[in-house]
Structure 1
């Protein structure tokens, strides 16, 4: 650790302990008080220009609910306007109905509005699903030129840019919502999710994909609101239960999954208990929620109950590993960036106040000692050896948010574990995001489809 790194961590911790992070951010901007991978993570999600996003983080001068959300909502709204304008360009010369409001809470349930949007974005739907959001007009033009007949390129380019701006708006509203647990952040979360609901409803028909919004009543009067992606064909399909971490969202997981729509594998996406839309804190007992979700998947005769996998990212990786040890209905598991023991018992030097606050809110901890106890209670070190199914553990070899050693210990102790650490990369190997997603898909295909033949 260099002196500069140590001093920076000391400064971040001092601000957290004295609750002066917001005061310091007025001078430095938000970036020093966010996880090191924050910019890369959202750049991946929305195809954001990393330098531009880093500058936006520097100009964000407060974490206070009103100031933080007002700042990011303004940027998101600019992308909403851009998407709407491009959709309007696609209707030029026609007498069709007005452009549906992509932010409205009613549009996702309006079949006529979705049909209108589907027709408008269809020329670029498959290319977008395969390649995701892009950085800049040049990248979009190159993609369309490579994958679209010359006569269709102008319309396809406009359609792609409309989808791209739409996803960027979804992403910026998610940044505004980070890390949840307050009124204005939750409003931004709901807007991001509503916009995604409309987007996926408009994209799915062109991709020959069925997307269902699923609500599962579970323990403690909670409801899991997830998405079920079903591939074409009668089934029963193998299914992957996918869950994310502390302040991740289902839409963040869903967008890259479109690339694998022809794999023959269904996907159920859900957010981690204790985050965003849940009403109760997370704890060891939250394991029951995942068991009940698996009950729901097993009961769906379109899904193959003998071929259920689980994929967890960040804190979701913790739940994937925990379920691997406790639910023998799971055939194989991928845990990416999972905290499992050392991450819960190590020091907090350099952990930003906003992350500590998010952890406290998620776990229902009232003070620092309470938070330490709640985290320690989550350790599953004594369960590693109970994981008998194939387990793939993924991370960067220099995780600055969790302990990389957790990934190594988990894979080495589980009887059928394998670890894949990406060099010079951080938490969840975000610098190799596309690479490990593709590798994971091949691994899942091998264990869910190839072995069943």
Structure 2
């Protein structure tokens, strides 16, 4: 789905911001007047213009808050969060502007949470020698507020923030259906990556496990009806956890990402096989050339170095091969929903069917189409449709 830019990287990130209109995380007019000021491929203008819009909307939010107009303030803070996050996106990991943009994004989101109609609790989950940050949202439903509620734990992937998952996982929709919902960040994501330098790890059962431990015995959480939703690269993390933790009653790969190396090599499989045999120096030189000629290649390499804690393309090749569910998918026995888009430019559709066939438990595959406006990665063109399918399915299994 092309929105505005010819280049895929800028266009998809525009669609990503625009998609959050569904839950008040953006407004089309604000998105389009911002992108109209940006030339394709100009990452400096991308940061400057999105930050300009974010600052303007945040000022509007603050004025509304000072005047006691909490509903107006809440909406503007949510939009400012999205625009600051988008401004940060293409900055290098060591760019001094990156951390402030991230912090403003997070603070705007939290300012909006203070004005929500439903209870929200900030979480600090014990993990190894630190804590993982997260949020627990409870439905404002009639009846016993302390009674056990089916719970959805949602996690992101390669570049998402816990705050962004409010829109991407459809928290308002989950709450309206009576679910408690948890959003959190692990190593290689959000605050753990930015503030502590904690890089990604393939064995995410050791990340999800402490989160589930933290929820056990907590007021209002029914751990007997527990769903796990993994978004984007979280479509690897969540099923990986489900393969090793039988507390997970249902798992959703949204989108599927069961073999990261094969997904990354899908556009040029012959070239990928060749590169796997070449000396490291040749692989690194080819990657450097790609970074000089393509915004998307430059961002992918820069973010991969940061997220995975590697420095060279050759190292990255070897690291990506460790992120595969091929040998453990048969351990997944809980009901599994696999979501896929026919236009997904990150993960080939063929891998969705393959993953479905590997899972031992009952599996449902839903392929979204171009015609539905949901064919892109994570259905960022029709989140209302995707979330309807996702939560209808969870209603049935939980």
| Fold conserved between structures, TM > 0.5 | yes
Relative to 1, partners in 2 of residues 1:339 and 1:324: Cα closer, same or farther, differing over 3 Å? same
Match of 1:47 among 18, 22, 26: 26
Q: Aligned residue for 1:149?
A: none
CA drift at 1:275: 1.9
Larger Rg: 1
Q: Aligned residue for 1:419?
A: 365
Q: Aligned residue for 2:105?
A: 192
CA deviation vs aligned residue, 1:243-286 (integer Å, no higher than 9, x gap): 11211112222143123323221111013421231121112244
Distance 2:207 2:376 in 1: 29
Distance 1:35 1:372 in 2: 25
Q: Aligned ranges for residues 158-307 of structure 1 at < 5 Å?
A: 159=72, 162-178=73-89, 181-182=93-94, 183-203=96-116, 207=117, 209-219=118-128, 221-232=129-140, 233-255=145-167, 256-278=170-192, 279-307=197-225
- Contact kept? 1:43, 1:53, Cα under 8 Å: no
Q: Aligned residue for 1:442?
A: 392
When structure 1 is superposed on structure 2, of 371-380 and 396-405 the one drifting more is 396-405
CA deviation vs aligned residue, 1:147-185 (integer Å, no higher than 9, x gap): xxxxxxxxxxxx3xx444332211110012216733421
- Contact kept? 1:36, 1:400, Cα under 8 Å: no
Q: Aligned ranges for residues 67-216 of structure 1 at < 5 Å?
A: 69-85=47-63, 87=64, 98-99=66-67, 117=68, 120-122=69-71, 159=72, 162-178=73-89, 181-182=93-94, 183-203=96-116, 207=117, 209-216=118-125
> Which structure 1 segments of 5+ residues have no match?
1-28, 89-97, 100-116, 123-158, 449-453
Relative to 1, partners in 2 of residues 1:391 and 1:57: Cα closer, same or farther, differing over 3 Å? farther
Distance 1:58 1:175 in 2: 16
Q: Aligned residue for 1:58?
A: 39
Relative to 1, partners in 2 of residues 1:36 and 1:388: Cα closer, same or farther, differing over 3 Å? farther
CA deviation vs aligned residue, 1:83-137 (integer Å, no higher than 9, x gap): 334x17xxxxxxxxx55xxxxxxxxxxxxxxxxx5xx235xxxxxxxxxxxxxxx
SS in 2 for 1:217: strand
Match of 2:354 among 409, 412, 419: 409
Distance 2:219 2:359 in 1: 31
Q: Aligned residue for 1:8?
A: none
- Contact kept? 1:222, 1:280, Cα under 8 Å: no
Distance 1:47 1:71 in 2: 15
Distance 1:57 1:399 in 2: 25
SS in 2 for 1:381: coil
Q: Aligned ranges for residues 259-408 of structure 1 at < 5 Å?
A: 259-278=173-192, 279-341=197-259, 342-346=262-266, 347=268, 351-408=296-353
Q: Aligned residue for 1:133?
A: none
SS in 1 for 2:146: coil
RMSD value, Cα: 2.6
> Which structure 2 segments of 5+ residues have no match?
273-289
CA deviation vs aligned residue, 1:322-365 (integer Å, no higher than 9, x gap): 11211111000111123211215544798521022112210011
- Contact kept? 2:202, 2:237, Cα under 8 Å: no
- Contact kept? 1:314, 1:337, Cα under 8 Å: yes
- Contact kept? 2:242, 2:332, Cα under 8 Å: yes
CA drift at 1:228: 0.3
Distance 1:77 1:185 in 2: 15
SS in 2 for 1:352: helix
Distance 2:228 2:99 in 1: 27
SS in 2 for 1:277: helix
